[in-house]
Amino acid sequence: MPQLPPSLKDLLAGLRQRLPLTDDFAIIFEYDPAARNWLEVLCCYPGLHAIAAYRLAHWLHQQQIAFFPRFISHLARFLTGIEIHPGARLGKGVFIDHGMGVVIGETAIVGDHTLIYQGVTLGGTGKETGKRHPTVGSRVVIGTGAKVLGNIQIGDFARIGAASVVLTDVPANCTAVGVPSRNVCRCNTTTMPLNHDQLPDAEAITLRRLLDRIEALETEVQQFSRLSH
């Protein structure tokens, strides 16, 4: 049986090492209750297709091969509606659910087992050079339509509420909600990733406190008026 040349062996070994599709495939069954069998996931999950195309494009990008990495990402965008720059660095087991409209920029970093919903942007601000996209930790949940912009840090187990605009760092185990977002510190290590609907409403909490304060002041004014009469 003919033997592969050593250079080709090394090339294939490196390719397998840089395509951790087993984790990308398995995480879908952990996160998505609609995933019922492997054939359905393999054929009907655009998030998996986009991740698979990214893994190949990223490996080619690391080999400093011109044109083809961007062309692969362009084809993946056309087929899945998900745009991932080949230069981005995605950890193992990243799950993009539904995925339409997701954009991940060139210098973005995403940690292991992070869950990203449709319409999410991990983008830059302006025309700065160098590291200009977010760094996202492990086991993070980024809700539908969230925009995480700039060279900021999102800590492990953080939660980003749907439609939030995040422009500043979010510490580990914290939740960010609102436009622009506010950090609401809470322990997320024991929270199921899919329970991203159980997020506090920072604006509602602030308004409730203001109303309570107004009611207390009105009561004090009424008491002072009665005493003065």
pLDDT at position 75 over 90: yes
Shortest CA distance to 158 belongs to which of 132, 145, 177? 177
For the chain, give the percent of residues with pLDDT over 90: 52
Q: Is 5 helix (H, G, I), strand (E, B) or coil?
A: coil
CB 141 within 8 A of CB 159: yes
Q: Mean pLDDT, to the nearest integer, of 174-197?
A: 73
Who wins on pLDDT, 229 or 86? 86
Chain-wide mean pLDDT for the chain? 85
CB 203 within 8 A of CB 178: yes
Structure tokens at 14: 């490196």
Q: What is the pLDDT of residue 193?
A: 59
pLDDT tens profile 18-61: 556 778 888 888 888 888 888 888 899 999 999 999 999 999 99
pLDDT tens profile 14-27: 555 555 677 888 88
Structure tokens at 130: 């160098």
Q: What is the pLDDT of residue 33?
A: 86
Q: Does the pTM exceed 0.85?
A: no
Q: What is the pLDDT of residue 198?
A: 61
pLDDT tens profile 107-118: 999 999 999 999
pLDDT tens profile 158-173: 999 999 999 999 999 9
Q: What is the pLDDT of residue 1?
A: 39
Q: What is the pLDDT of residue 84?
A: 97
d(CA 209, CA 106): 42
Q: Mean pLDDT, to the nearest integer, of 131-147?
A: 94
For the chain, give the percent of residues with pLDDT over 70: 82
Q: Mean pLDDT, to the nearest integer, of 124-131?
A: 84
Shortest CA distance to 191 belongs to which of 175, 210, 177, 203? 175
DSSP for 96-153, please give it.
ESS-TT-EE-TT-EE-TT-EE-TT-EEE--TT--SS-S-EE-TT-EE-TT-EEESS-E
Which residue has 């960010």 as its token pair? 176
Least confident span in 11-15, 86-90, 126-130, 213-217: 11-15
Q: What is the pLDDT of residue 4?
A: 47
